[in-house]
Chains A and B, each alone.
Chain A
Amino acid sequence: MGQLVPTELNFHRSHNRSICLLSTLHSAFLLALLLVSMPALGQRQASLDPISDYDFGSWANAGSLSLTNTTCATMIRGNGSLSAYKIRVSDEYSTSNSDNFYLYLDGDSSATSIEITVDHMDTSEGTYDSLTEGVQSSEEHDSPAANCPGGDNLYLRINIASTELAGKPGGDYEGYFTLRIKRGNALDSEVFYVNVTVAASPEVQISHLDSVDFGQHNGLGDLSVTETFCVYSSEGSYNISVDSTGRTGGNHYLLATSGGDTIPLAILFADNGTGPGTVQLNSNTASGNGHTSSTDCAGTDNASLTFQLAESDLQAASTGTYSEQITILIVPE
Chain B
Amino acid sequence: MKFHKISFAFSLSLILAPAALAQTQGNLGATSTGQIDLDLQVTDSVEISRLANIDFGSYGGTSTGDLGSSEAYCVYVNGGDDYAITPTSSNGAASDDSDKFHLLGDTDGDEIMYTVKFVGAATGASAQAVTTYNTASATFQGSTSRTCGNADNAQLHIDIAESELREASTDTYQDTLILLVNPV
Least Cβ distance of B23 to chain A in Å? Answer: 5
Question: Could you say which of A202, A210, A316, A323 contacts B78, with CB atoms under 8 Å apart?
Answer: A316
Task: Give Cα distance in the complex from A227 to B18, angstroms.
Answer: 19
User: Are B79 and A323 in contact, with the CB atoms below 8 A?
Assistant: no
User: Are A215 and B38 in contact, with the CB atoms below 8 A?
Assistant: no
Residues of B within 8 A of A (CB): 11, 13-14, 16, 18-19, 21-47, 76, 78-81, 144-146, 183
| Of A213, A214, A257, A324, most B-chain CB atoms within 10 Å | A213
User: Are B38 and A327 in contact, with the CB atoms below 8 A?
Assistant: no
Known: A318-B79, A319-B183, A327-B35. A203 touches B43 (CB 8 A): no
Known: A206-B32, A318-B81. A217 touches B38 (CB 8 A): no
Closest residue of B by beta carbon distance from A321: B41
User: Are A324 and B38 in contact, with the CB atoms below 8 A?
Assistant: yes
Task: Give Cα distance in the complex from A138 to B36, angstroms.
Answer: 58
Task: Give Cα distance in the complex from A217 to B39, angstroms.
Answer: 11
Residues of A within 8 A of B (CB): 167, 201-220, 223, 227, 229, 231-232, 254, 257, 261, 263, 265, 295, 307, 309, 312, 314-332
User: Are A205 and B78 in contact, with the CB atoms below 8 A?
Assistant: no
User: Are A206 and B78 in contact, with the CB atoms below 8 A?
Assistant: no
Closest residue of B by beta carbon distance from A328: B34
User: Are A210 and B23 in contact, with the CB atoms below 8 A?
Assistant: yes
Task: Give Cα distance in the complex from A220 to B11, angstroms.
Answer: 10
Closest residue of B by beta carbon distance from A318: B79
User: Are B24 and A319 in contact, with the CB atoms below 8 A?
Assistant: no
User: Are A203 and B39 in contact, with the CB atoms below 8 A?
Assistant: no
User: Are A332 and B30 in contact, with the CB atoms below 8 A?
Assistant: yes
Known: A202-B30, A325-B35. A217 touches B41 (CB 8 A): yes
User: Are A318 and B78 in contact, with the CB atoms below 8 A?
Assistant: yes
Closest residue of B by beta carbon distance from A244: B38
Nearest 8 A/B pairs, CB to CB? A219-B45, A318-B79, A211-B21, A206-B26, A214-B40, A316-B144, A206-B34, A211-B37
Please indicate the chain B residues that have their CB under 8 angstroms from the CB of A318 in the complex. 42, 78-81
Task: Give Cα distance in the complex from A201 to B65, angstroms.
Answer: 92
Task: Give Cα distance in the complex from A295 to B29, angstroms.
Answer: 11
User: Are A319 and B81 in contact, with the CB atoms below 8 A?
Assistant: yes
User: Are A218 and B43 in contact, with the CB atoms below 8 A?
Assistant: yes
User: Are B16 and A321 in contact, with the CB atoms below 8 A?
Assistant: yes
Task: Give Cα distance in the complex from A197 to B36, angstroms.
Answer: 37
User: Are A205 and B79 in contact, with the CB atoms below 8 A?
Assistant: no
Task: Give Cα distance in the complex from A327 to B145, angstroms.
Answer: 32
Question: Could you say which of A205, A227, A231, A329 contacts B36, with CB atoms under 8 Å apart?
Answer: A227
Please indicate the chain B residues that have their CB under 8 angstroms from the CB of A317 in the complex. 42, 78-79
